[in-house]
Amino acid sequence: MRLNSNDTENVKFADYLIEIGTNPKEDVELPSEMKRCKSTMDLLFKVYPNLNVEEVATETYLQERSILSARNDDVATLNELAINHFPGELHEYLAADKAIEDDQPIENRGNNISN
């Protein structure tokens, strides 16, 4: 994440993040000036307002915002909530990996094996 270093609020926030990362305590006190959300849904819609509007929820819109989390299970929960609010019908794409036969020469396997 990049911050404008000329903005004093950004500098304060960056210093706060460094303090969190180097603080050995498990619990962190949030400064009173930080906006707090009452629920995960509240957080999601503060960061991504109008997530369910097709013209708004574009690739660029999603790339310009982020929610940081230290725990993968929290990220999975937020992703699931966000996906459920995307406009349009939900599609699930399945994939299967197939082992390559050992008797096939390596030069016939192609480049996609390493991707």
User: pLDDT tens per residue, the chain (115 residues)?
Assistant: 565 667 787 888 888 888 888 877 777 777 777 777 889 999 999 999 988 888 888 888 888 888 888 899 999 999 999 988 888 888 888 887 776 666 666 666 655 555 4
pLDDT score for 108: 64
* The amino acid at 85: H
Q: Would you call 9 helix, strand, or coil by DSSP?
A: helix
Domain of 50 in residue numbering reads as 36-89
pLDDT score for 87: 82
* Shared domain check, 41 and 24: no
* Shared domain check, 72 and 53: yes
With CA atoms as reference, report the closest residue to 17 among 32, 31, 7. 31
CA separation for the pair 1, 106 (Å, rounded): 41
The average confidence (pLDDT) of the chain is: 80
* Shared domain check, 26 and 43: no
